[in-house]
């Protein structure tokens, strides 16, 4: 059992200030990452996923738990991973540092250094959600996780964060007018204070698709898809926006600035576009998903900032790697994948995938065994080169 020491925690915060930039640089390689959700019964094995990510040169992923099979499969891959501390664990972890210590030893420490665990997302979309009990335990849980990491000398390499949905904002149009909801702010501000002290960015799940789906009559789909359009003009900042994605990020910067955290970086923890949806889900087509994700990829590879924060390079995790056929909710929820379960591309945005008409490839599925390929000599040579 570990007793919580205020003086010890304050010393950790002082030490963390000198390390915040070091940790930040290690968390995200480049600007492009992908969310690897697994609420499905037809996905490739984690070993196959590693091969797929390497072939696609994707170097950053997020998962929503700390699955041991996944973490073992990624050993030696060099791919940076943010793991998730699921919402259902927050109440327990908030009770004491010893609970966090046990969780980290079981789900993090034993996989280091082989698996590049670079962050722990404490909960997902807690503030603004329906369970206000979780609002109250989010900060204590995050503090306990950070303190446990520090005692294990891991806080300098593993970042503690918590991603938010757009529900934390009272409004976001125009971007400069964005503010946090009044009921969220009493919980958000101390969380931001803590994350500011330990060098953690603000993570936001930003979906132009959802905004368009909810109001297709008043939102130009070209504005949502990065296509040519008139855009919007923010009179306060005198800035022009030709796509909603950048406007959503700058809205988050504006909200942060209003509560005193103008220097905090914003990272998009989820964004994507559904390739299929119900009849009432406007815009959910393969064509639009391809357009959004292809244009977003191009934007991120430019390594530029937003109109309001031009020096803060935009970084984002795309949702998602695969369609997840067991996810509840509308049809769109099961159709955000960039790849099909066999490793082939869902649509072409510049990735080659692991299968094509010229290559016969077999990917093992969960519970079947290790990865097995039947490939041509040239394809095998290519995969070997990618792995090196």
Cβ contact 134:181 at 8 Å: no
Select from 365, 343, 162, 170 the least CA-distant residue to 270.
162
- Would you call 125 a catalytic residue per the annotation? yes
Cβ contact 74:47 at 8 Å: no
Task: List CB contacts of 156: < 8 A, sequence separation 6 or more.
Answer: 19, 22, 23
Q: E strands within 153-261?
A: 159-161, 169-171, 179-180, 202-205, 232-234, 239-241
Active-site annotation holder among 47, 125, 166, 281: 125
Instruction: Give dist(CA 100, CA 109) in Å, integer.
Output: 12
Active-site annotation holder among 47, 97, 166, 270: 270
- Local structure of 266: helix, strand or coil: strand
- Local structure of 233: helix, strand or coil: strand
- Would you call 270 a catalytic residue per the annotation? yes
Q: Which residues of 81-94 are buried (b: 16+ CB within 10 A; e: fewer)?
A: bbbbbebebbbebb
Instruction: Give dist(CA 154, CA 143) in Å, integer.
Output: 14
Active site amino acids:
125, 270
């Amino acid at each position: 059992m570990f007793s919580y020491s205020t003086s010890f925690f304050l010393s950790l915060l002082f030490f963390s200030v000198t390390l915040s930039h070091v940790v930040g640089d290690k968390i995200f390689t480049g600007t492009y990452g992908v969310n690897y959700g697994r609420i499905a019964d037809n996905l490739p094995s984690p070993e196959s996923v590693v091969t797929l990510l390497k072939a696609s040169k994707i170097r950053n992923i997020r998962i929503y738990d700390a699955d041991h099979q996944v973490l073992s499969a990624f050993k030696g891959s060099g791919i940076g991973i943010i793991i998730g501390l699921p919402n259902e664990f927050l109440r327990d972890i908030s009770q004491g540092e010893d609970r966090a210590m046990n969780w980290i030893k079981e789900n993090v420490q034993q996989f280091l250094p082989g698996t590049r665990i670079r962050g722990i997302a404490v909960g997902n979309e807690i503030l603004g959600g329906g369970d206000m009990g979780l609002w109250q335990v989010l900060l204590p849980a995050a503090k306990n996780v950070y303190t446990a990491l520090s005692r294990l000398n891991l806080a300098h390499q593993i970042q503690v964060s918590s991603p938010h949905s757009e529900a934390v904002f009272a409004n976001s149009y125009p971007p400069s007018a964005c503010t946090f909801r009044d009921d969220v702010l009493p919980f958000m501000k101390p969380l931001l204070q803590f994350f500011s002290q330990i060098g953690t960015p603000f993570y936001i799940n930003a979906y132009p698709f959802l905004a368009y789906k909810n109001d297709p009559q008043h939102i130009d789909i070209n504005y949502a898809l990065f296509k040519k359009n008139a855009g919007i003009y923010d009179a306060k900042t005198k800035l022009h926006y030709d796509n909603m994605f950048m406007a959503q990020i700058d809205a988050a910067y504006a909200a942060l600035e209003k509560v005193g955290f103008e220097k905090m970086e914003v990272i998009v923890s989820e964004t994507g576009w559904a390739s299929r949806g119900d009849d009432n889900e406007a815009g959910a087509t393969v064509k639009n998903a391809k357009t959004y994700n292809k244009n977003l990829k191009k934007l991120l590879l430019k390594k530029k900032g937003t109109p309001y924060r031009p020096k803060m390079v935009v970084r984002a995790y795309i949702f998602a790697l695969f369609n997840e056929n067991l996810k509840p909710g509308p049809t769109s929820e099961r159709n955000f994948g960039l790849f099909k379960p066999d490793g082939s591309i869902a649509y072409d945005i510049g990735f080659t995938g692991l299968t094509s008409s010229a290559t016969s490839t077999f990917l093992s599925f969960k519970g079947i065994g290790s990865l097995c390929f039947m490939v041509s000599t040239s394809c095998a040579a290519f995969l070997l080169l990618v792995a090196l």
